[in-house]
Structure 1
């Protein structure tokens, strides 16, 4: 049984007030994760940029596929004809608009009855024209023949999503969305097939005017393109947020934080060791030692000249006049000096360090 728009509306009105606040709170917690875990926002990584470019192109492709020029011609809307019009009159009107093709002649023999016209509105002109084993007495035969064309855009989009969420192509930043993207693409495919399989093609039996006809095949083409574009666009948005640390963060584990701290300490230790070697080399070489002493003598002279400038003298006078509490600064400096030179007791040792 097909799900009607009224059922969807009723479910939305019932569950909306319950689920919407929770969804907003969950989204806000995800957006606040970077500040909570003190993770800085970064630019989009180059591998994710490639994935975003591909998703942008596929999104535009699916949106463009919904435009009328890319859709098969609907001869009823083209000729402004009612459902009950005779076949000869219908194709006579069509011949006045454009020359008839061999495909039109085949279609003329296939839509002579109302039953076949109902199927024309459900499956489109290509299925009725090209299917050799289909007949109006077995409507499911048209569904079986149309399945490859229905699945083609979904399979293409599934391949695109598999590419942009591949760890080899885009790294771990996009690979975390692989399962979500696959499930979304699979759900879109199943929903599309479900609507085609459960559609009541005889719903147009009461259509007396052109405006009353439900052009199901052409409407589904539009909704299919919009749905696939929405899936790709949402995936691109999620990739952008997660790869730039704006949302959907996974806090680093304790082992990862320890490893990062260890690497940072190793870098600092290497720099300090290199600085010690450099200072030792300078002190052992007479020329380098003389140049180093000359540099610091020059710097001292420059600092002395700066201290005699008018702006510096005024700044010192303002500090001494009380704008800066020199007593507090002196006390803090003395406390800091005492903590540095005071002996530290090491557990398990009797001596002082």
Structure 2
């Protein structure tokens, strides 16, 4: 039976644990947000592989949520006929026959009618559902555990199918390099959820329904667990999709590239810079060696110098420059900055070259 929790109890727990957990949660969130920036990583776009995996996970989440709806659940005879648990078997199935099209009962209904010979069978029906009670060939109400053994494969089937789907979603072929890092977490979480599901079903006290005299007092354990199971699987898949999205975009749980990737990136940057310098050198040599181009370059800079001198000799320009120099620009500070930049430019370039060289060698 579900344990009711009052709103007062929830508020008391929030008041007691809130001041301790809220600062830790905020700090953990800030650490996750600042992690990629602290490691020098930038937010990146989703790769096509990760995007396809996220779409597939979203579909599984929607499927599980749809399965959890009562529309897709097996029929409950007592709810369908609005009957209490202690109703005589003939009366129960007479009501059910009146609700069936053409007043016909299915083979499952006939099997359940043969099983409903005592209250124990009805209690087990509420615990394990109609399929187990109708189809089990070796089960007996004198041995309730036999129903659990027969129900166990069907109980584990959705967990195993979901584990197979998550294992496929964490492969390098489907999710890229971000998928395998979550495989252990996903497998362990799936095992824990499955074990918890089996434990709850096995440890359920089905005898508690024997004291329920009205239909609203019944604990429909099988139907409730079916809903909780589907919602739990949807939460597992949604959580994995969120973790995969955060790690794939470097928003959280980001890992810096390994040394081989850093060496490759540094080498690629050096080759790109070298190719640009070579291109500039080729263009400069071509313009100098070609007489026509050389004359054009000299003519351009001669014209540019003459034009700038004419502009700077205009009265309005001279007054504007003087006003800026006197009132707006600290020429001494600019001179110091220029001198400092010119002094440190060559040593910094040498240090950067040494760092890149160390990365490549290391």
Aligned to 2:113: 108
1 CA distance for matches of 2:190 and 2:330? Answer: 67
Structure 1 stretch 85-94 or stretch 37-46: which is displaced more? 37-46
1 CA distance for matches of 2:243 and 2:191? Answer: 18
CA contact (8 A) 1:103 1:129 kept: yes
1 CA distance for matches of 2:310 and 2:56? Answer: 62
> How many Å apart are 1:237 and its aligned residue?
0.9
> How many Å apart are 1:94 and its aligned residue?
1.1
- Which of 32, 35, 38 is matched with 1:36 structurally? 38
C-alpha change, 1:310 and 1:220, in structure 2 (3 Å) is farther
Any gaps of 5 or more consecutive residues in structure 2? Answer: 348-362
Superposed counterparts of 1:1-353, under 5 Å = 21-99=23-101, 100-252=105-257, 257=262, 260-290=265-295, 292-293=297-298, 316=321, 318-337=323-342
> Residues 179-234 of structure 1: CA distance to partner in whole angstroms, max 9, x if unpaired?
11111111111111111111122111111111111100000011001100111111
2 CA distance for matches of 1:308 and 1:169? Answer: 69
C-alpha change, 1:88 and 1:304, in structure 2 (3 Å) is farther
> How many Å apart are 1:63 and its aligned residue?
0.5
C-alpha change, 1:213 and 1:303, in structure 2 (3 Å) is farther
TM-score when normalising by structure 1: 0.83
C-alpha change, 1:293 and 1:173, in structure 2 (3 Å) is farther
CA contact (8 A) 1:60 1:229 kept: yes
1 CA distance for matches of 2:211 and 2:35? Answer: 56
**What SS does the corresponding residue of 1:177 show, helix, strand or coil?**
helix
> How many Å apart are 1:31 and its aligned residue?
1.8
| Corresponding pairs, count | 338
C-alpha change, 1:289 and 1:31, in structure 2 (3 Å) is same
> How many Å apart are 1:336 and its aligned residue?
4.2
2 CA distance for matches of 1:95 and 1:219? Answer: 26
> How many Å apart are 1:333 and its aligned residue?
2.9
C-alpha change, 1:315 and 1:114, in structure 2 (3 Å) is farther
Any gaps of 5 or more consecutive residues in structure 1? Answer: 343-353
Structure 1 stretch 194-203 or stretch 308-317: which is displaced more? 308-317
> How many Å apart are 1:311 and its aligned residue?
9.7
2 CA distance for matches of 1:149 and 1:311? Answer: 91
> Residues 327-349 of structure 1: CA distance to partner in whole angstroms, max 9, x if unpaired?
3223433454566799xxxxxxx
CA contact (8 A) 1:319 1:326 kept: no
CA contact (8 A) 1:319 1:325 kept: no
> Residues 271-325 of structure 1: CA distance to partner in whole angstroms, max 9, x if unpaired?
2123212322332233444555566567668877987999977863542341121
C-alpha change, 1:325 and 1:151, in structure 2 (3 Å) is same
> How many Å apart are 1:326 and its aligned residue?
2.2
TM-score when normalising by structure 2: 0.81
